[in-house]
Each structure stands twice: as C-alpha cells, then as structure tokens.
C-alpha cells in the first residue's frame, strides 16, 4: 500500500463531515439544547431561567423504542448446536450490554457500526465490537451500497495525549496511520497488514434508509417540536416568577422617604395586616395572576404531537394511563409495536451480516443466521397461554418447541427447557424402575409367598 494512499484523505474528510452533521443529535438526545429565544437585553436573572427550560423528551422517545429492541438468540441453517455456538460467541463479547448502545446510536445518529475481527488468543471466538459513526466512515458501492473500504480515526487518550490514530481498511489489507496533533501530517505506522477476512470488517446499522442508501436520525422530525416545548417551558417559568401571584397597587399616596431620600414601601403586606390611608383620594387595587393552566395545556398539546410523530404512546410521555385492561393497553401501543417490528427487520439484517463475518473470522456458526428478538409487547399472559394450548391440541398439534418460540422463548432458553424436560423424564423412568424392583423384592421376602413343605 502506498504511503500516501488518497483514500485515507478522502475518508478522513468524509468522516469529519459526518461528525459535524451528526454530533448535534447527541446533544439533543442528552438534553443539551440550544437556549430558547429571549430579548438581547434581558436581565441576567432571566438568563438563569433559560438554562433550566430544556427537558429531555427526545431521550425518552429514543429509549422507549430501544427498550424493545433486544436480541436474545440466533437461528441459523445448522442444528441447535451452531445456534448455541453463535450465542456463546455473542455472550463472550458481552454483546447483551453492547447491543442497546448500537441500537441507540443508530436511532439517534441515523447509523452505527459493528466490527468483527479474528481473535488470536481464542480463534474460535472472534472479536465483536460496537463502533460509533463519529469514528467510522465506510465508502460504499454506488449500485448495491456494499462496502468498498473504510476509515476509522480517533484521538488517543492518556496512552499518547494529543496524538491521533487512523486505520484504512480494504478487503486486501489494513494500514495504520498516526500524527502527533491535529495540524500534523499523517504517516504510516509500520507496514500494512493482510486483512484475514478478505472484506471490510464493518457492518452498518442504518435507521430509516431509503432507496438511495441515505439514513436518517429518528430525532430529525422531532427537534422542531422539542424547541417549541422548551420555549413554552421558559414562558411558563417566567410567568411563575413575575405573574403567578396577584400584585397590589395603590394610587394617590404620598410615598415616605428615609434619611437618604430613598422611597420607603409604605405598607407591610401580610395576612393579618390592613392597609389604611388618611388621604380620601387614595385608591387600592390588584392585578390578577397569570393562568398557568394555559401553559400546561399548550405543553401537553406539543407532547401529544411528539407522541403522534414518533409513534411513542402518549401515556409513555405524560403518564396519565391508569386502570386499563390488557386489550386497551395493547391497542394504545399498537403504533409503537408496529414501529419496533419494522426496526427489527432493518436492524436484524445488520446482525445477520455480523454473524456472517463471525463465520468468516473463524467462529463455528452456520451462516446465514437470523436474530431472535425478545418479545416485549404488552399482552395478557392468560390469553397467550390459552391460545398456545389450543394450538398444541388436535387437530393442529403444533410441536411443543414451536409453541415455546411463539411464547417468546429464545433458542438458548428452549435448549435449556429441553434438557430439563429430558432430565425429568429420565428421573421419572428411573423412579418407575426402582419402584418395580422394590416391589419385586418385597414380594420375595413375604412369608405368605414361601412354598409349603411337602
């Protein structure tokens, strides 16, 4: 590989643009929002209120979707042992903890990545890692969007403060680059290494990809609503500060002054005090307080708009659902359930591609494999069990393992249940044999069964 491969610079420029395009979505997810508008001459005490006007509704939207995206097994073309091997490799790489991070970033930024690489220390357990779209950029074929080459870059931490590292991945080899600081030149860090996979080791998890290959953040259509919510929060807090209580006024009074000529408030307002004046022209009155219920109504309306566009049920956001039946709850969450199933289709393709790379990297799996998603829909347990019982009875007679899958059990759980069932059958058979032998011995020892002497 040449020292100054032009793909490195092209990839780093594309990665830099990708970072600038996507990084602000992380701020919106975390609740670090641009402040609502206030007049330039507003007092500093009002600016402090602006800092507390933001509320992280968008994080709740992403988390509500992500909580229902959980892979708990794989099903492939081989037998159950290869499915369990895929799950073993998954577990050794702690992917149960990594997968929600991959899904959350795909939803938030529009894309995330997973890398696969051979494991020298344990060749049968390839390394699987979640990768951020702020570190990885993939060049894709313009026809079928298959990966051609990729760049990964980041600033090093305490091991080498200030320096940066970059990798250029091609199907043939991998080259590491380094530079001392952001203004330095990239130089190869040693010779290029052969790529043992023979392909780009990254899989992209895209959210909302269209036919042109473009993905989109789940937050993009929701940000304008979040901005309006923050504005209403600010106005409501200002109303609470200056107009949420009745203000009194008085006219026709001579205002007393202290020894320095400063005006002194003539009355000390309290529940047990009376305002009086000896001036017959004096008048007293009060201004009505601001009705904060109007702000609450507008705020709830905006949250319901957020719910409608995101397909997250309003009761997830407003918490107003109580004493509801299982059927009504399922109907209320139908939109979210449909959306989650759609996400499972697109993200499932990514996990299947990851397992294909695992097989290439030396894992003993039988690709292609499909992920098994945990059942997180709201449903009545009694109705589900009743339906499965009827499916397993004549005339359908659906096999027990298939019913377990419909129940939501993952392949590893089904295997465990099968082992437990086989062990229980073996114990029952052993107990039956032991009982028969004991009865036979008892019959032989019974004096009544001894033959009489001739």
Going by the DSSP 8-state scheme, the letter that residue 158 receives in this structure is T
Instruction: Establish if 389 belongs to a structural domain.
Output: no
Which residue's structure tokens are 């590989």? 1
Residue 84 CA from chain centroid, whole number: 25
Residue 147, number of CB atoms within 10 A of its CB: 19
Which residue range(s) make up the domain with 427? 414-446
- Asked if 181 and 164 count as a contact pair (C-beta separation under 8 A), the reply is yes
The H-or-E segment that residue 50 falls in is helix 44-50
Tally the domains of the chain. 2
Instruction: Report residue 87 as tokens.
Output: 């799950």
CA separation for the pair 94, 127 (Å, rounded): 10
Instruction: Establish if 431 belongs to a structural domain.
Output: yes
Integer angstrom CA distances of residue 169 from 8, 25, 138, 179: 9, 27, 9, 18
State the sign of the Cα–Cα–Cα–Cα dihedral 207, 211, 213, 217. negative
Instruction: Establish if 361 belongs to a structural domain.
Output: no
Instruction: Report residue 285 as tokens.
Output: 């009155």
**Predicted pLDDT at 285:** 72
Instruction: Report residue 366 as tokens.
Output: 């039988």
Instruction: Establish if 22 belongs to a structural domain.
Output: yes
Last residue of a domain, one of 182, 206, 230: 206
- How would you classify the pairing of strands 202-206 and 193-194? unpaired
Instruction: Establish if 135 belongs to a structural domain.
Output: yes
Residue 306 CA from chain centroid, whole number: 18
Last residue of a domain, one of 206, 227, 253: 206
Residue 27, number of CB atoms within 10 A of its CB: 11
**Predicted pLDDT at 251:** 74
**Predicted pLDDT at 53:** 86
What is the pTM assigned to this prediction? 0.80
Contacts of 190 (CB under 8 A, 6+ apart): 176
Instruction: Establish if 152 belongs to a structural domain.
Output: yes
Q: What are phi and psi of 25, to 5 degrees?
A: -65, -35
Residue count (the chain): 454
Instruction: Establish if 334 belongs to a structural domain.
Output: no
- Asked if 409 and 386 count as a contact pair (C-beta separation under 8 A), the reply is no
Helical H segments across 67-188, by residue range = 80-92, 95-109
- Low-confidence spans in the chain with pLDDT less than 70: 1-3, 39, 41-43, 45, 78, 242-247, 249, 252-254, 267-276, 287-290, 320-324, 326, 378-381, 383, 444-454
**Predicted pLDDT at 1:** 42
CA separation for the pair 238, 231 (Å, rounded): 11
Within 13 A of 212's CA, how many CA atoms are on the CB side?
3
Instruction: Establish if 146 belongs to a structural domain.
Output: yes
Helix (H, G, I), strand (E, B) or coil at 266: coil
Q: What are phi and psi of 444, to 5 degrees?
A: -70, -30
**Predicted pLDDT at 308:** 93
**Predicted pLDDT at 137:** 97
Last residue of a domain, one of 188, 206, 224: 206
**Predicted pLDDT at 52:** 83
């Amino acid at each position: 590989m040449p020292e100054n491969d032009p793909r490195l610079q092209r990839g780093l420029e594309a990665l830099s643009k990708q970072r600038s395009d996507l990084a602000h979505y992380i701020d919106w997810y975390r609740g670090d929002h641009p402040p609502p508008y206030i007049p330039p001459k507003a007092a500093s005490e009002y600016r402090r209120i602006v800092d507390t006007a933001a509320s992280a509704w968008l994080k709740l939207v992403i988390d509500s979707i992500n909580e229902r995206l959980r892979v708990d097994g794989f099903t492939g073309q081989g037998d159950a042992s290869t499915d369990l091997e895929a799950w073993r490799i998954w577990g050794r790489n702690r992917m149960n903890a990594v997968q929600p991070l991959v899904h959350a970033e795909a939803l938030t930024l529009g894309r995330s990545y997973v890398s696969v690489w051979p494991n020298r220390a344990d060749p049968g357990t390839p390394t699987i890692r979640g990768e951020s779209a702020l570190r990885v950029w993939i060049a894709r074929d313009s026809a079928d969007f298959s990966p051609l080459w990729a760049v990964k870059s980041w600033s090093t931490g305490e091991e080498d403060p200030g320096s940066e590292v970059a990798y250029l991945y091609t199907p043939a080899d991998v080259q590491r680059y380094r530079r001392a600081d952001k203004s330095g030149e990239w130089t190869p860090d040693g010779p290029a290494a052969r790529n043992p996979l023979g392909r780009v080791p990254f899989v992209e998890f895209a959210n909302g990809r269209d036919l042109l290959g473009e993905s989109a953040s789940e937050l993009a259509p929701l940000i304008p609503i979040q901005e309006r919510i923050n504005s209403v929060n600010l106005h409501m807090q200002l109303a609470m500060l200056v107009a949420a209580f009745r203000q009194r006024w008085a006219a026709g009074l001579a205002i007393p002054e202290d020894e320095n000529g400063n005006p002194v408030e003539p009355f000390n307002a309290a529940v047990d005090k009376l305002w009086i004046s000896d001036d017959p022209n004096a008048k007293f009155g009060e201004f009505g307080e601001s009705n904060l219920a109007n702000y609450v109504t507008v705020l709830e309306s905006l949250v319901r708009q957020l719910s409608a566009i995101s397909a997250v049920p309003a009761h997830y956001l407003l918490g107003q659902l109580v004493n509801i039946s299982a059927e009504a709850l399922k109907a209320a969450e139908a939109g979210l359930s449909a959306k989650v199933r759609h996400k499972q289709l697109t993200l499932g393709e990514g996990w299947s591609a990851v397992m294909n790379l695992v097989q290439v990297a030396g894992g003993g799996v039988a690709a292609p494999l499909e992920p098994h998603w945990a059942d997180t829909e709201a449903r009545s347990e009694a109705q589900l069990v009743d339906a499965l019982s009827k499916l397993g009875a004549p005339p359908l007679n659906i096999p027990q393992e298939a019913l377990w899958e419909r129940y939501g059990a993952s392949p590893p759980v089904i295997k465990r249940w099968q082992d437990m069932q086989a062990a229980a059958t073996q114990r029952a058979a052993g107990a039956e044999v032991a009982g028969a032998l004991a009865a036979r011995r008892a019959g032989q020892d019974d004096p009544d069964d001894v033959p009489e002497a001739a």
